[in-house]
Amino acid sequence: MHVNGRPVTILGLESSCDETAAAIVSSDGQVAADVVHSQVEIHAPYGGVVPEIASRDHLRAMGPVVREALARANLSLRDVDAVAVTHRPGLIGALLVGVQLAKGIAWASHKPIVGVDHLIGHLLSPFVRRSADDRPPLFPYIALLASGGHTAIYRVDGPLAKDIRELGATRDDAAGECFDKVAKLLGLGYPGGPEIDRLAKQGDPTRVSLVRPMAHRKGFEFSFSGLKTQIAEIVARERPMSEEGIANLCASFQATATHVLVDKLVAAARVEGVRHIVITGGVAANRELRARATAAASAFGLELSVPAFASCTDNAAMIAYAGAQRFLAGEQDSLDLAATSVSALPRRTSRGPGPRP
């Protein structure tokens, strides 16, 4: 993981959705700087991310965010070995902002450019070291990636795309998307995940009975649209709901969703014969998911790695680290690097209802 006896230093850029981010990270995972500009406030009135607004805000913020990251690291572009940038998957307009700036920086500073798959960034986020207590997993490991746009279980045998295999994914809504939609049904605002997590602490998960989606199906696929529909029917039937009723519904919903996520993660690890498991993505910041995964790992003799909270949500540190691994493997891109909404990781789970072969 070194060049000429030292770790390589990577400038990472991230703009796949509604976070404008830049970071300076070494190939051994040490974070020199990590700057994130959030767009939550400008999207909140709409109840979700508006792509055009996201792109325009990235244009405004990306330059200052990069300059701030270099300043915090006390480095200049001369000290950087390569530029890594998220170029897939994500909102095309948002991705283009980061990709075009990364190209400009690489061209002007005569540095290599490395395109990074956003999903691979999340899957490698446990290797980002933000404190001395961080303990990365060992390859191979089974990873649950749960966020607003993606929910899937992967077997990760190494840091490159060729080393990663999807074991199962959601057929419809992502877990984080379901959290946000349920929060909207309950009038809790956007983003909904943190608010549901807060209210769930005050509620009783046994007061509302919900069916766990696909809990008894073999395989590692998910479906969250039915769970969202159950909540919608309860809200319509019991409107207006009391504060206690909302807290109980949040507690039951969160318990149901996290049960399914953890049960399938553990089942995948046992089927694959892999001892190390990881949870990552924005939903990995959820209190109950972390606690449930910790308990399950202890019960089944598994080793669990969970990234720091700052590494769960979209950030450029994970992109810089993933880019460093490609760079050290001799992989880099030309200045015709394109943005695309499709991940480099082959998808084996078909979308939509119905039987599977």
Per the CB < 8 A criterion, the answer to whether 314 and 19 are in contact is yes
Topology match between the domains 2-129+311-328 and 141-307: yes
pLDDT digits (tens, 9 = 90+) for 108-164: 999 999 999 999 999 999 999 998 777 899 999 999 999 999 999 999 999 999 999
State the pLDDT at residue 215: 76
Q: What is the mean pLDDT of the chain?
A: 94
**CATH classification code of 141-307:** 3.30.420.40
pLDDT digits (tens, 9 = 90+) for 302-332: 999 999 999 999 999 999 999 999 999 999 9
Q: Name, in order, each residue with C-beta under 8 angstroms of 187's C-beta and a sequence gap of 6 or more.
A: none
State the pLDDT at residue 354: 52
Cα 317 from Cα 14, distance rounded (Å): 9
State the pLDDT at residue 260: 96
2-129+311-328 folds as: Nucleotidyltransferase; domain 5 (3.30.420)
Cis peptide before 240 (omega within 30 of 0): yes
Q: Which residue, among 164, 151, 353, 351, has the nearest Cα to 264 in the 3D structure?
A: 151
Tokens of 315: 């950030």
The domain ranges of the chain are 2-129+311-328, 141-307
Q: Which residue, among 93, 253, 287, 121, has the nearest Cα to 180 in the 3D structure?
A: 253
pTM for this predicted structure: 0.94
